[in-house]
Structure 1
Amino acid sequence: MSNIDYDDLMKPVIGFLGCETPKAWLDEAVNHLDILMQDHANCEKKAASTAMNLMFRYNFFSDLQVRLAQLVREEMLHYEQVLELMKKRGQAWISLSAGRYAGGLRKEVRTYEPEALIDILVIGAFVEARSCERFYALAPCVDEELGRYYRYLLKSESRHYEDYLTLAVDVAKNYQLKNPQETIQDRIEHIREVEKNLILSPDDTFRFHSGVPVQAA
């Protein structure tokens, strides 16, 4: 990993997102590493579950099967790695409520196909890109061990966002849309604004994907 230029790796990820993580969130994260790590573990598990559900729901889409099978394996590996880090640091497993981020994005999923699948895949791309951007922003702010692990995650997380985006583009090209005038870029831009608002607006619950802490807003 030492030969990777992280700045170059992150350029397309940051360019895809509508904003970068606010400093106020980073300050909150450094002061609540226990919540950050616990919710990170939850996010990895949820990402694996989401990918697995897509594989079963859309089992006719062979490209999706192959790409998501790899993603499931990697997300579960990361889940195990975070659990191991928590154990090493003497951090007990706790139950955390979900933040608003995933639910806020899911509200944008349309109810008919193939638009529903396109939306889910585009949202998946934004979730993975945001995770990648947050690891990159966090790495220099946390202790050496955790920062090294976050940098290790950058390569796979950046690939995950690209995989989701590629799949969304493929579906848009190969399946008839309800509105033939709509392009995949239209949908990306819409969801980009929704995601940006979730990241930049005040949020009273600190989580891995939460917005600006209310006390800093």
Structure 2
Amino acid sequence: MMVAGVDMAPIKDFLFCDTPTEWIVAAGAPENLPVLLIDHANCEKKAASTALNLMYRYVEHPALLHKLSRLAREELRHFEQVLAIIEKRGMDYPQLSASRYAAGLRAQVAKNEPQRLVDTLLVGAIIEARSCERFAAVQPVVGAVNEELGRFYASLLRSESRHFMDYLTLARELAPSVDVEERLTPLLEAERKLIESEDEEFRFHSGVPK
């Protein structure tokens, strides 16, 4: 499956479920566009922060430092692009509560090393994969409301799919003693439950709207 020149098959094969149709419909509602954009901006900031935190915590891994330095720069660039769209539309940028998604995933992370490193990288891979899948899902409905925004979401697919592979590759390379697939399965199952269950509030990574 190709979307905006990006092969989505690896993402689809990796995740345990697709974004529910109810979320896509909600994302296309004009009244939800400000929340979508603001939460998207917040997600880009958090992604950059996560990469930087890992760079401080695991300085003994040069491969991690190089890949995540590049990733953090890209995430901050994406934040700047979303912020520019928010400002161009004359929207405010208020504080917005986070969805339960990332916290729900990080609650599954092991406390001890090297499992902690592997789990953290796998959570990063899952979040990036879901973000890529959501950009592909929402691009047509958002593009129908605003063509410029639709093009922007399409443009993000390539980098998000690469970030997913960067995290997954690091998890497999940096802790060869850990069975990555064994750690990955429960994390993906937890992610599926978060995506398919009901959520009180609409957010970029929220589940089915109530």
- Partners in 1 of 2:88 and 2:13 — Cα distance? 35
TM alignment of 1:41-190, pairs within 5 A: 41-142=41-142, 143-173=146-176, 176-177=177-178, 183-190=179-186
**Which sections of structure 2, spanning at least 5 residues, go unmatched?**
none
**TM-score, scaled to structure 1:** 0.91
Q: Which amino acid aligns with 1:189?
A: T
1:35-86 superposed Cα distances (whole Å, 9 cap, x missing partner): 0000000000000000000000000111000000000000000000000011
Distance 1:134 1:200 in 2: 13
For residue 196 of structure 1, the aligned residue among 192, 196, 205 is 192
> How far does residue 190 in structure 1 lie from its aligned partner after superposition?
1.2
Q: TM-score, normalised by structure 2?
A: 0.94
What residue identity is the alignment partner of 1:172?
A
Cα displacement (A) at 1:171 = 2.0
Asked whether the equivalents of residues 16 and 189 of structure 2 are also in contact (C-alpha less than 8 Å), the reply is yes
Q: Is the 8 A contact 2:122 2:184 kept in 1?
A: yes
Which residue is equivalent to 1:212? 208
Letter in 2 for 1:165: L
Give the count of matched residue pairs.
Answer: 204
State percent identity of aligned pairs: 52
1:6 CA drift (Å): 3.6
Q: RMSD value over aligned CA atoms?
A: 1.2
Q: 1:114-155: per-residue Cα shift (whole Å, max 9, x none)? A: 100100000000000000000000111012111100010000
Partner Cα separation in structure 2 for residue 119 and residue 7 of structure 1:
30
Tell me what 2:27 maps to. Answer: 29
Q: 1-side partners of 2:190 and 2:205: how far apart?
A: 13
Map residues 1-12 of structure 1 onto 2, 5 A cutoff. Answer: 6=4, 9-12=7-10
Q: Is the 8 A contact 2:61 2:174 kept in 1?
A: no
Gaps of 5+ in 1: 178-182
Q: Shift of the alpha carbon at 1:27?
A: 1.2
> What letter matches 2:105 in structure 1?
L
Cα deviation, residue 8, structure 1: 5.3
